[in-house]
Amino acid sequence: MITTLVLPEPLADEIASATRNPLECAGVLLARRVDVGAEVRLLGRSLHWVPQAAYSEQSPHHMLIGSDGYVGALGAAEADGAVPIWFHTHPGDGGVPLPSKLDRQVDRDIADLFQLRSGSGIYATLIASPRGESFVFSGELTPEGEAATSIDRVWIVGERWRLIQNFARAASAPDAIFDRNVRAFGPDIQGVVGDLRVAIVGSGGTGSAVAEQLVRLGVRHLLLIDNDKLSASNVTRVYGSTPGDVGEAKVDVLRAHLRRIAPDLVSSTVKAMTTVKSVAKALRAVDLVFGCTDDNAGRLVLSRLSTFLLTPVIDVGVLLSSDRSGALTGIDGRITTLTPGAGCLVCRNRVDMARAAAEVRTPEERQKLADEGYAPALGQVEPAVVAFTTAVAAAAVNELLDRLIGYGPPERPTETLLRLHEREISTNHAAPRGGHYCHPGAGKWGAGDEEPFLGQLWGAE
Enumerate residues 6+ apart whose C-beta is below 8 A from 254: 203, 207, 208, 211, 224, 238, 239, 240, 241
Where do the structural domains in the chain lie, given as residue ranges? 2-165, 177-449
177-449: CATH topology: Rossmann fold (3.40.50)
φ, ψ for residue 302 (rounded to 5)?
-60, -35
- How many C-beta neighbours within 10 Å does residue 177 have? 10
d(CA 128, CA 123): 17
Amino acid identity of residue 362, one-letter, is: T
Whether the link from the prior residue into 452 is cis, omega within 30° of 0, is yes
CA–CA distance, 356 with 450 (Å, rounded to integer): 24
* Terminal-residue alpha carbon distance, the chain: 29
CA-to-CA separations, 460 to 23, 139, 275, 361, in angstroms, rounded: 55, 40, 10, 12
Beta bridge partners of 30: 46, 84
Closest by CA to 396, choosing from 416, 412, 382, 410, is: 416
Which SS3 state, helix, strand or coil, does residue 180 take? helix
Identify the pLDDT of residue 84.
98
- What pLDDT score does 374 carry? 47
Distance CA 428, CA 267 (A): 34
CATH of domain 2-165: 3.40.140.10
Task: Supply the pLDDT for residue 361.
Answer: 60
Each residue's pLDDT expressed in tens, for the chain with a length of 461 residues: 899 999 999 999 999 999 999 999 999 999 999 999 889 999 999 999 999 999 999 999 999 999 999 999 999 999 999 999 999 999 999 899 999 999 999 999 999 999 999 999 999 999 999 999 899 999 999 999 899 999 999 999 999 999 999 999 877 889 999 999 999 999 999 999 999 999 999 999 999 999 999 999 999 999 999 999 999 999 999 999 999 999 999 999 999 999 999 999 999 999 999 999 999 999 999 999 999 998 899 999 999 999 999 999 999 999 999 888 878 899 999 999 999 999 999 999 998 877 777 666 655 555 555 555 544 545 566 788 999 999 999 999 999 999 999 998 888 899 999 999 999 999 999 999 999 999 999 999 999 999 999 999 887 77
263 class by beta-carbon count within 10 Å (0-12 exposed, 13-18 middle, 19+ buried): exposed
Beta strands in 202-340 (DSSP E): 221-225, 266-270, 288-291, 313-322, 328-338
User: Distance (Å, rounded) from C-alpha 172 to C-alpha 251?
Assistant: 31
Give the integer Cα–Cα distance in Å for 57 and 39: 38
